[in-house]
Amino acid sequence: MKNGKVVATNRKAKFDYFLIETFEAGLSLQGSEIKSIRAGRISLGEAYVQTDGKEAWLMEAHVAPYVQANRFNHEPLRPRRLLLHKKEIHHLWDAVRQKGMTIIPTRVYLKNGRAKVEIALARGKRSYDKREAIARRDRQRDMERETRVR
Q: Which helix (H) or strand (E) holds 37?
A: helix 31-38
- The mean pLDDT value for 2-28 works out to 87
* Model confidence at 1: pLDDT above 60: no
The Cα 123–Cα 90 span in angstroms is 18
The Cα 111–Cα 92 span in angstroms is 23
- The mean pLDDT value for 131-138 works out to 88
Domains of the chain listed by start with CATH number: 4-125 (2.40.280.10)
Between 82 and 150, where is the model more confident? 82
Helix (H, G, I), strand (E, B) or coil at 7: strand
* Model confidence at 59: pLDDT above 80: yes
- Which residues on adjacent β-strands are paired with residue 102? 122
Query: What is the residue-averaged pLDDT of the chain?
Result: 88
The Cα 36–Cα 63 span in angstroms is 7
